Amino acid sequence: MAGKTVTRADLSEAVYQKVGLSRTESADLVERVLAEICDSLAGGETVKLSSFGSFVVRSKGERVGRNPKTGVEVPIDPRRVMVFKPSNVLKAHINGEVAENDD
């Protein structure tokens, strides 16, 4: 059940069709929203979109990993990772169910 990949151009076109902005304004709006989300996440903030989900930045500490081919242990540096937690509304929508609006 592989679906189509939605691109920035697809999002811009949807804004153009549904909101009525020009194509240029629609593309600019999509870019500004994505840039704001990226900047917030880079700053360590959680981005919560009601009825959609939350993007959370987590810090992972240093740990020891193992090369699966050679079995040699190697240190894995600490890093920050982004996690997406879908809302119950989105989960229900994906599964074709009706859910109460959660924030």
Pairwise CA distance, residues 75 & 66, whole Å = 8
State phi, psi for 89 to the nearest 5 degrees.
-65, -45
Under the banding of pLDDT at 50, 70 and 90, the label for residue 98 is confident
Q: H or E stretch including 63?
A: strand 63-66
Kindly tell me if the per-residue pLDDT of 3 is higher than 90: no
**pTM (global) more than 0.95:** no
pLDDT of residue 63: 94
